Amino acid sequence: MTTTELGELRETPDIHGAYPRLSDAQISQLALRGRRRPTREGEVLYQAGDVIRELIVVLSGLVAVVDPNRPDVPIAVHGPGRFVGELGLLTGQAALLTPVVRQAGEVLEVAVDDLREVALDDPELADTVLRALLIRRSLHIDLGAGLRVLGSRFSPDARRLRDFLARNRVPHKWIDLEEDREAEAMLRELGVTPEETPVVIWRGHQVLRNPGNAELAQLLGLRHEPTPEGVCDLLIVGAGPAGLAAAVYGASEGLATVVIDAIAPGGQAATSSRIENYLGFPAGISGAELADRAVVQARKFGAHISVPAAAVSLAIADGRHVVSVDSQEELGAHVVLVATGAQYRQLEVPGAEVLAGSIYYAATQMEASLCRNDPVVVVGGGNSAGQAAIFLSEHASAVHLVVRNPVLDQDMSRYLADRILRSPLIEVHLSTEVRELVGKRQLELVIVEKLDTGDRMELEARSLFVFIGSEPHVQWLGDCVALDEDGFILTGWDAAKRTGDQPAESPPLLLETTRRGLFAAGDVRSGSVKRVAAAVGEGSLAVRLVHERLRSG
């Protein structure tokens, strides 16, 4: 990505706005709150693994940003007017790369809190910085910068780690022991036996042998202490679109707000390659970028977001809700919003258990990299399946879309259906269901059956993507609230019809459950519209209702 001529290091060209040059006026504005200081050649401005506290603007000289795994090949080189930083500057995550001064000069350091103050007066500067940091994160993901993960594609733990990193948008390079000829040599050099894999290489030298998600999250700065007092006004369980919207509105309106999620911010929406029917984004926006922007926004207003932190139970103590999480913590709150969403049902057909390593329930860049130039099968008739089919058609050699419905747009937006039908790389199989998976260690064939004729056919595939039905994440609630026949949480008028702990003179509010002070929003709620915009709307509305409940006691 860098340009070198006759051995001289030069600036990296700006790529899609990732490396903008600030104007003199913008630098002057930052200088009012920043600190200028000289730099020396070879100086490390911060190390991978550090929490970035300051935006660093290069006033003179050159600064190279390097991956600690390959410090000899700069990822980017910044000259005068450019700024150094990663998305962690705004989210509190640890740095994944290391900036090193390659030509002495001068820098301007602006603390994060001061940067936020400047951003209030200059929205254009704020947009420039945020956009650049988001694009840099995407570039780093594409480059495989940051962490190294070594393991077998058939290992459940390797898949767990890769899924956790991908869902949290953590740049990393995957090294497959099944394909990479140099992987075995790397393991020997690191003193790691195959039985100890998968391993994560952090900061270029620290080796983590099959770490848990919580351990990795702590290392990366994804986990944060809830609140100093231990009791918050609003505890949001689930950081999908509904939960993040509630976090933004709750924190911005002065509520002490805590958000926890079992895996990563964004929920199912974060696995969508492109959302094209979300208001305000006519060109579309990826679910991952939408989640990143929402996290930055929520943190800006003071919301505390922690992952992974899975809720395991709910109780009442001293008139407050107490949520126990899998880390043995107990979080107290005056009001709780359940926004845990739903997950796609697993495909239960012969061969699915043996070939679980070839079955995916999301279609992100991680999954796309595994099936590059291979044929794939996508199962489902909703928008998620349609978005996945279009996205995968850019990477796979062929895409078979298996839909139970007789028409494609029965449960799918018309614009998606039209695009799929126009694609020469996507073959649609209507009124069709999967009956069997065939293969040894990896998927080879998907046997499908036409529902109207009973005819069966074999579809060649190396990966299977499943987006069928949904099951709500409500197990941790036990029998605390009333559910509908499909297991989704009843709220408002539907909840009022059920017996619960609500006083007769104070029926449940619109999004309130049968338990007073416990609300539900988004896909987990009975009767909700399974769309990102609807979830965001419910999360926003929930905050107004939370205020009402807090006033009434």
Each residue of 42-82: pLDDT tens digit?
999 999 999 999 999 999 999 999 999 998 889 999 999 99
Residues linked to residue 232 through DSSP beta bridges, in sequence order: 333
Q: How confident is the model at residue 4 (pLDDT cuts 50, 70, 90)?
A: very low
- Which residues make up the CATH 3.50.50.60 domain(s) of the chain? 231-342+471-552, 356-466
| Number of neighbouring beta carbons within 10 Å of residue 496 | 17
Q: How confident is the model at residue 170 (pLDDT cuts 50, 70, 90)?
A: very high
At the topology level of CATH, where does 147-212 sit? Glutaredoxin (3.40.30)
Q: How confident is the model at residue 7 (pLDDT cuts 50, 70, 90)?
A: very low
User: 59-73, 222-236, 400-414: which has the minimum mean pLDDT?
Assistant: 222-236
CATH 2.60.120.10 corresponds to the domain 3-143: yes
What is the spatial distance between Cα 45 and Cα 106, in angstroms, rounded to a whole number?
12
What is the spatial distance between Cα 267 and Cα 341, in angstroms, rounded to a whole number?
7
What is the model's pTM? Answer: 0.90
**Predicted pLDDT of residue 225:** 58
- Which residues make up the CATH 3.40.30.10 domain(s) of the chain? 147-212
What is the spatial distance between Cα 553 and Cα 547, in angstroms, rounded to a whole number?
10
* Mean pLDDT across the chain: 92
CATH 3.30.750.200 corresponds to the domain 356-466: no
* Residue 134 phi, psi (nearest 5): -65, -45
Cβ neighbors of 35 (< 8 A, separation 6 or more) are 108, 109, 110
Provide mean pLDDT across the span 325-331: 88
Max mean pLDDT among 353-357, 498-502, 543-547 falls in: 543-547
What is the spatial distance between Cα 55 and Cα 499, in angstroms, rounded to a whole number?
55
Q: Which CATH architecture has domain 231-342+471-552?
A: 3-Layer(bba) Sandwich (3.50)
What is the spatial distance between Cα 90 and Cα 111, in angstroms, rounded to a whole number?
11
Whole-angstrom CA distances from 118 to 39, 127, 287, 469, 543 are 24, 12, 28, 46, 28
What is the spatial distance between Cα 71 and Cα 444, in angstroms, rounded to a whole number?
40
